[in-house]
Chains A and B, each alone.
Chain A
Amino acid sequence: MDELDILKKDWNKANTDYKKLSVKDIYPLLQKKSSSIVKTLFYISIAELMFWILINSIPYFYSDEYRQKLEIIYSNEYVLTGITFLTYGIILLFIYLLYNSYKSISVTDNAKNLMKSIIKTRNIIKCYVIYNLVIAGVSLIFGFYHALNNDPNIASQIENFSSKELAIAYAIMIICTVIFILIVYLFYKIIYGFLLKRLNKNYNELEKLEV
């Protein structure tokens, strides 16, 4: 008889170490809120969507100066309208993908498929974050470049720069952008790493079995 068979003998009779709940005890449990990782992931994705929508929208609606600058940059209003449509179109696409992905998560699926659908959802959020980081990076570099060339105050200051100093200014600008993006990226890595560490470990364990 191996170890598990010894355990099996005890397994079905060992019911005394926990409290047997009555119907009355169970009813209140149904009203409690879930604290599952899917729910946390859902809140994070809503927060992500809201955060980036606000980051993109607030300066435009609350700062006349910012709006004027944008309108000068995109002197052709069709370009600005096109970009706005594209931006919100992409956000809507992500909302649609996330909705579908959440709907596919089912606790009655087998363990591997359940993990797979959660990882897929997390990847959609990851893509959304990467998309926003790329846009933020490009906007920052473009903004810096535009300021260097068109802002009268900055232009008068860099007028006397040698080509070497100008190259340093550009390098600093790029390094600042990369550092900003890296910090935000690491922040996400830590959040998701912490939340999905156990899930990833278990998924890899199941994957390993099939190799």
Chain B
Amino acid sequence: MNKELEHSFVELLEKHQNIVHKVCRLYTNNYDAHNDLFQEITIQLWKAYPKFRGDSKFSTWMYRVGLNTAITLYRKSKRTINTQDFEGVEFKIKSEDYDDTEEQQLKILYKAVHELNDIEKALVFLYLEDKDYREISETLGISEVNARVKMNRVKTKLKTILNP
């Protein structure tokens, strides 16, 4: 691979690295695992980069490679701890405590998202990134209708986790 290609790739990745960090944030729950996944996504992006033709935006292309790596290709390292061990606030709080401070509410929400399975996390990720259902369905390889149905189920599931 020539230096020019390498340079353009590194510059683009540096600019859009937040996307990769966000994928890692959702699929890992400790510093080492985050770095491992970040590294694997970077390698997969770099390997696929020569075929990136620029038909889509670099960031859109990154979503797909990032999620595919996290869901399918990445072999969880030994350092990845189980989501059950996630350090956060006490999970099963009483529902009347739910409207506590915003920070606590967010912690609970993030923890609840970590409880979801890999596919549900992918849906949540794309939703949080403001992707429409067409793009969500294309990224995951499911129909648009099913993407909507699943998204609604995920929302209900989150509600149930938060208000047991």
Contact = CB atoms under 8 A, between A and B. Distances in A.
A10 B61 CA distance: 24
Could you say which interface size class chain B belongs to? 35 or more
Looking at B22, B40, B67, B68, which has the most chain A CB atoms within 10 Å of its CB? B68
Contact of B142 (A2, A195, A209): A209
Contacts of A115: 72
B94 to A, nearest CB: 17
Given A107-B65, A198-B76, A206-B142, A3 B39 contact: no
A108 B72 contact: no
B158 A11 contact: no
A17 B73 CA distance: 25
B81 interface: no
B6 A30 contact: yes
Main secondary structure of the interface of B (DSSP, over half): helix
Interface residues of A, number: 47
Contact of B68 (A17, A20, A107, A210): A107
B17 A23 contact: no
Nearest to A30: B46
Contacts of B79: none
B93 interface: no
Main secondary structure of the interface of A (DSSP, over half): helix
Contact of B75 (A17, A26, A40, A209): A40
A114 B43 CA distance: 17
Contacts of A40: 75
A164 to B, nearest CB: 54
A202 interface: yes
Contacts of A107: 44, 47-48, 64-65, 68-69, 73
B90 interface: no
B91 interface: no
A205 interface: yes
A7 B107 CA distance: 10
Nearest to A110: B141
Contacts of B40: 34-36
A7 B127 CA distance: 10
27 contacts: A3-B109, A7-B113, A7-B128, A11-B128, A18-B34, A21-B14, A23-B11, A26-B17, A30-B6, A30-B10, A34-B40, A36-B40, A36-B69, A36-B74, A37-B72, A37-B73, A107-B48, A107-B64, A108-B64, A108-B68, A111-B68, A111-B71, A113-B141, A202-B71, A202-B119, A206-B141, A209-B146
Interface of B: 6, 9-11, 13-14, 17-18, 21-22, 24-25, 34, 38-40, 42-44, 46-48, 51-52, 61, 64-65, 67-69, 71-76, 105-106, 109-110, 112-113, 117-119, 122, 124, 127-130, 138-143, 146, 149-150, 155, 158-159, 162
Given A6-B106, A29-B38, A107-B69, 4 more contacts: A30-B10, A36-B40, A109-B68, A118-B72
